[in-house]
Amino acid sequence: MVILFISHVRLLREALVVILNDTEEIQAFGASSRDTAEAAVLECAPSLVIVDASHPEAAMLAATVQASNAMVRIIVLTTRERDEDLLTWAKIGASGYLASDTSARDLISTIHRVAAGDTAYPPKLTALLMSRLADRSTDYSTRTGIHALTCREREIAALMADGLSNKIIARRLGIALATAKNHIHSILEKWDVRSRGEAAARYRQNTEGEGDAYLSNPARSTPVTTPHVWSGAQASRSALGARRTVSVGYPHAA
Span 69-80, pLDDT tens digits: 778 888 888 876
CA–CA distance, 240 with 40 (Å, rounded to integer):
105
> Around 190, how many Cα atoms within 13 Å sit in the side-chain half-sphere?
22
pLDDT in tens, 5-33: 998 999 989 999 999 998 888 899 888 88
More confident call, 219 vs 37: 37
More confident call, 39 vs 93: 39
Q: If you average pLDDT over residues 119-146, what whole number do you get? A: 58
Closest CA to 149 of 194, 181, 193, 188: 188
Residue 70 has what pLDDT? 76
Judged against a pLDDT cut of 60, whether residue 86 lies above it is answered with yes
Q: How confident is the model at residue 92 (pLDDT cuts 50, 70, 90)?
A: confident
Q: If you average pLDDT over residues 32-56, what whole number do you get? A: 85
pLDDT averaged over the chain? 75
Q: What are the distances in angstroms from CA 203 to CA 162, 176, 213, 216?
A: 10, 23, 11, 16
Each domain of the chain, given as residue ranges in start order, spans 2-132, 146-221
- CATH architecture of the domain with range 146-221: Orthogonal Bundle (1.10)
Class of domain 2-132: alpha beta
pTM exceeds 0.85, yes or no: no
Judged against a pLDDT cut of 80, whether residue 55 lies above it is answered with yes
Judged against a pLDDT cut of 70, whether residue 140 lies above it is answered with no
pLDDT in tens, 205-247: 877 655 444 444 555 555 444 444 444 444 444 444 444 444 4
